[in-house]
């Protein structure tokens, strides 16, 4: 699949690798298997443990239908909304739903994606979704195109500044508590700037870091004149990951 190349408002180029079709299918298989396990357990409890007066009552038959169908209708939009584009299957396969510019999708975006499942997956057995992903080449099925989202691999983060955050201690003291106010896109831009040593001269890179620092200071209202711009930006990123309990490729 093609890379997704995005130029941010600060003219920093970000590149994302769309999740492969295999990873998406495996993630779906995991989610489907979990749903199957849920139905099996529910039917076992409903038919073998609960009193027959309850399970055989015509007036209460709707309860079993509701309990079987409810997870089907809420699993994807609910989990993706609260887990930043992930379901359990997507988390296991290290993929997630996001906006092409790296920002988080809105709840309405996840709902739009989910509604299109009835056309792309339920009605056509997934054939339409697969064909769209293969033809589109940007990690998008019809639901993604309508919602302006894509599915990317978290294992292929656009930054190559690998060693800086590999051993981030999520229990370390936070220096700038307001770093948590930044968005995922802000952090990606900072990391791109930190990773720009091969693209700019030392003086140009320093100017880029200084400008980025000024923007971040205004956003989070946190300054430390004793820190160099590079150290300041690294500290902000580490604080962001510490606050959210994540490490390098977690977003």
pLDDT in tens, 177-207: 888 888 878 888 898 899 888 778 888 889 9
Give pLDDT, residue 158. Answer: 42
90-106: b (≥16 Cβ within 10 Å) or e:
bbebbbbbbbbbbebbe
Number of CB atoms found within 10 A of residue 15's CB: 13
Backbone phi, then psi, for 95, in 5-degree steps? -130, 160
Strands (E) across 33-172 are located at 95-98, 150-153
What's the pLDDT at 24? 93
Short-list 123, 125, 127, 120, CA closest to 142: 120
Model confidence band, residue 136 (pLDDT cutoffs 50, 70, 90)? confident
How many angstroms separate the CA atoms of 232 and 216, rounded?
10
User: How many Cβ atoms are within 10 Å of 218's Cβ, its own excluded?
Assistant: 10
- pTM, two decimals, is 0.59
Spatial separation of the C-alpha atoms in residues 193 and 13, rounded to whole Å:
10
Per-residue pLDDT, averaged over 119-133, amounts to: 90
Residue 250 has pLDDT above 80, yes or no: no
pLDDT at 164: 43
């Amino acid at each position: 699949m093609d890379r997704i190349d995005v130029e941010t408002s600060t003219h920093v180029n970000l590149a994302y690798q769309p999740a492969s079709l295999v990873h998406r299918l495996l993630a779906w298989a995991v989610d489907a298997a979990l749903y199957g396990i849920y139905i099996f357990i529910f039917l076992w409890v409903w038919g073998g443990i609960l009193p027959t007066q309850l399970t055989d009552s015509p007036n209460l038959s709707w309860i079993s239908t509701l309990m079987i169908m409810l997870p089907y209708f809420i699993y994807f939009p609910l989990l993706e909304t609260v887990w930043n584009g992930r379901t359990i299957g997507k988390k296991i396969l290290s993929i997630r739903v996001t906006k092409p510019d790296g920002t988080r999708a809105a709840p309405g975006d996840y709902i739009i994606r989910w509604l299109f499942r009835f056309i792309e997956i339920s009605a056509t057995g997934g054939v339409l979704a697969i064909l769209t992903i293969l033809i589109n080449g940007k990690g998008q099925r019809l639901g993604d195109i309508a919602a302006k989202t894509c599915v990317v691999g978290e294992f292929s983060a656009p930054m190559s500044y690998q060693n800086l955050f590999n051993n981030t201690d999520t229990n370390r003291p936070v220096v700038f508590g307001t770093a948590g106010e930044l968005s995922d896109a802000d952090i990606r831009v900072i990391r791109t700037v930190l990773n720009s040593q091969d693209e700019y001269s030392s003086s140009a890179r320093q100017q880029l870091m200084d400008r980025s620092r000024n923007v971040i200071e205004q956003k989070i209202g946190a300054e430390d004149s004793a820190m160099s711009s590079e150290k300041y930006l690294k500290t902000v990123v580490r604080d962001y990951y510490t606050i959210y309990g994540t490490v390098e490729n977690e977003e």
